[in-house]
Structure 1
Amino acid sequence: MDTSDHSLSTLFLQLGLPAGKAAIEAFLREHRLPAGMTLAQAPFWNAGQAAFLQEALDDDSDWAEMADELALLLSR
């Protein structure tokens, strides 16, 4: 069982992205999720990132809560 901390920072690390506070804030400023688009459909993900996010949400995995939070942040 995966007992690691699942935070926004660790999600960014899982996606292969810089995970420092400033890097996450910059990512959120530079990217938006258009209305009606799911997180995994966003054009700024590569195929592996999109597949990871889709699987996390489809399987309601340990990462689903963080993926939902990221989608919310990108929708603002």
Structure 2
Amino acid sequence: MEQPSYELNTLFDQLGLPSDGKAIDDFIMAHPLAPEIKLVEADFLAPHQKALLKEWMRADGEEALLVDELNVRLHGGK
């Protein structure tokens, strides 16, 4: 059983998405990405969401770690 993703709630809040653990897990299960698709190219994200993800990746701090975690989980990682 997967652990709830409470650490991602800040990112999901900033993306304007439901951010409780179950909602995050449901989002990830509903939006798997193929290995060749980059997170910032996902068709289920709005342009402003993609821009935020790019900004957070460039921050190269805790924000980048959260984006990386989301990326890994959407690509089938735990």
Task: Give the shorter-chain TM-score range.
Answer: 0.7 to 0.9
Alignment-derived partner of residue 60 in structure 1: 60
| Rounded Cα–Cα distance in structure 2 between residues aligned with 1:52 and 1:61 | 14
Query: Where is the helix percentage greater, Structure 1 or Structure 2?
Result: 2
**Structure 1 consecutive aligned stretches of length 4 or more whose deviation exceeds 3 Å:** none
If the length of structure 1 is used for normalisation, what is the TM-score? 0.83
Provide the aligned length of Structure 1 versus Structure 2: 70
| Rounded Cα–Cα distance in structure 1 between residues aligned with 2:9 and 2:18 | 8
CA-based RMSD of the aligned residues comes to 1.2
Q: Could you tell me the percent identity over the aligned residues?
A: 39
SS in 2 for 1:63: helix
1:3-41 per-position Cα deviation (integer Å, ceiling 9, x unaligned): xxxx20111001100001111111011001221221111
Greater shift, 66-75 or 34-43, is seen at 34-43
Q: Unaligned 5+ residue runs, structure 1?
A: 1-6
If the length of structure 2 is used for normalisation, what is the TM-score? 0.81
